[in-house]
Amino acid sequence: MPVGQAYQVSLKESSRDRFISFFYLQRDVPSGYEHTLGLYFLADGAERWEIIEGSESFIENLIVADLKMIDGTYAIMSTILAPVLDPGWNLLTYSLPDIRCLGTSPCLMGPESENLIACPVVNFPAGTQLQIAQVTNLEKGVSQIQEPQDNSEPITYLRPGTTYWVKVDQSFQPRFAPPQRLPNGDVPCIPEALKRTETPPPFIPEASLKAGVYMSFENGGALPNSNIDFSDEDILKYDPDSGEWSLFFDGSGVGIGDSDIDAFHLLNDCSILFSLNQEGPVPGISSEIEKEDLILFRPMSSCDMNSGTFERVWKGSRFDVDDDNIDALVILNDGNLVMSTRDNNEIDSAKNEDLIRFFPSNQTLESGITRGEWDENLYFDGSDLRLNGNRIDSDLKGLSIIDDDFYFTLRDRDDVFICRNVTTGTSTRCEGGTTVSIFLDGKEGADQVDHDIDGLHVVLP
């Protein structure tokens, strides 16, 4: 993505060494991406931009580099480095959060591109061969990547979370621009075939996640009989069979240490769709996140949670969830969203023990959801159910749905409840009636959680 203006330089005869310096405005740099800045050069008559090595260090918004000895155009661009590809076939996992179309240069420059606000292509060299890496499941927990195939379908774009075979003739390091959007919210260069018009495509089940109960907590602390200290922006995993705890996601380690993750859903590659309990900054997102927004964290490689990218994929105020806090969240297998909010809201006259359903209508999580509508009826009426003989009128928080079984927790509770074989709608029922049961006892089981749970995701063996 270009930062500031590009400059055409025509050289005159001179024996002196010459250099070019760029001062850039901080407001032109995508938030959180200053470390990705570099100076690029496009020789007159050439088709592909090249990075000027050694130009990536900067002090006080200044980049300096030696001039090339030929005429051409110089521009600062914000790019993300991918692993170096060796000659021959390579495996490359595309882990950025939006779709990228393929091309031979990272940006288009020139008078006819004055309104261009993003670079929609990936700068693979001409002649590069790409194909999706097919995975074969040999047995439970064991898989094998198939070798590259002849006569495969041509690849014209990269999709998030997908692994590709890439063949190059010489050593090459791909560079990707950070995510950008057009004024109407669309991602530049998204293929028309992927622009959803009615219902979203199904999501792949969480096959890559290990079995366990994933939880975030309202406050930080320590777990009994373990050496784990955690904060409210972390996600922990509990193994009911072994009784062991582990830290699945260190929120402060990736830059969200001042906010509480109070609702989340895990995807097949361990990506996290989540909401925060307060307004604040998130790395890589230019404007502050609101507590009614949904953010997608994608690890740089599948289930490696030490680094990744963030993107706001759903803005609550656009869909009448304004100044409220999303505190329960699930993506159904059909791609629709189910959530609950902390306060009672006007959507279907829902209360904080209810669940409401949202139908995205235009895009996927990978490209952001900018259009859609709410179900006209409640998806789950919590007040229809009973816990220990009493009607549930407490705030429903963490939520996980497997088939027709609903797992959830309630405000100020350290237990996980289950409603089996749920009948959804305005007359919500569990198997055998309206009584919910305890799935995980926070006082007796789960190694004595003894901390109020607010986010939840269950993966069965």
Average pLDDT along the chain: 76
A 10 A CB-CB count for 207 gives 12
Q: Are 307 and 299 in contact (CB under 8 A)?
A: yes
Distances (CA, A) of 116 to 74, 157, 181, 251: 17, 19, 11, 35
- Cα–Cα dist 119/106, whole Å: 6
In the three-class reduction of DSSP (H, G, I as helix; E, B as strand; rest coil), residue 397 is classed as: strand
Write out 131-172 in H/E/C secondary structure. EECCEEEEECCEEEECCCCCCCCCCCEECCCEEEEEEECCCE
110, two tokens: 């020139």
Q: Looking up tokens 């000027």, which residue turns up?
A: 52
Predicted local confidence at residue 437, as pLDDT: 86
Q: Are 361 and 410 in contact (CB under 8 A)?
A: no
- Architecture field, domain 212-459: 4 Propeller (2.110)
DSSP states of 192-230: GGGS-SSSPPPPPPSTTSPSEEEEEESS-EE-TTS--EE
The end-to-end CA distance of the chain, in Å, is: 44
Q: Looking up tokens 């069965």, which residue turns up?
A: 460
In the three-class reduction of DSSP (H, G, I as helix; E, B as strand; rest coil), residue 107 is classed as: coil
**Which amino acid is present at 139?**
E
Q: Closest Cα partner for 217 from 205, 228, 206?
A: 228
Q: Closest Cα partner for 97 from 232, 295, 274?
A: 295
Q: Are 5 and 107 in contact (CB under 8 A)?
A: no
Q: Looking up tokens 């139908």, which residue turns up?
A: 359
Which is it for the CA torsion 72, 78, 82, 84, positive or negative?
positive
In the three-class reduction of DSSP (H, G, I as helix; E, B as strand; rest coil), residue 55 is classed as: coil
Query: How do residues 218-262 score in pLDDT, each as one tens digit?
Result: 888 887 667 788 999 999 998 888 888 889 999 888 888 778 899
Q: Are 91 and 132 in contact (CB under 8 A)?
A: no
272, two tokens: 């996290």
Predicted local confidence at residue 143, as pLDDT: 52
Predicted local confidence at residue 115, as pLDDT: 32
| Angle in degrees, CA 427, 433, 434, rounded to 5 | 60
- Cα–Cα dist 234/260, whole Å: 8
* Residues forming CATH 2.110.10 domain(s) in the chain: 212-459
Classify 184 in phi/psi space as left (phi over 0), alpha (psi -120 to 50) or beta. alpha
Query: How do residues 40-51 score in pLDDT, each as one tens digit?
Result: 888 888 766 777
- Cα–Cα dist 101/130, whole Å: 13
**Which amino acid is present at 123?**
N
Q: Closest Cα partner for 320 from 296, 298, 295, 348?
A: 348
Q: Are 32 and 285 in contact (CB under 8 A)?
A: yes
- Cα–Cα dist 168/125, whole Å: 8
Predicted local confidence at residue 261, as pLDDT: 92
> 399 CB contacts (<8 Å, ≥6 apart)?
263, 328, 329, 330, 338, 339, 340, 355, 406, 407, 408, 456
- Cα–Cα dist 318/301, whole Å: 31
Q: Looking up tokens 């057009």, which residue turns up?
A: 182
Is the pTM value of this prediction over 0.75? Answer: no
What residues of the chain score a pLDDT lower than 50? 15, 56-58, 104-121, 137-141, 181, 183, 187, 191-207, 446
Predicted local confidence at residue 415, as pLDDT: 86
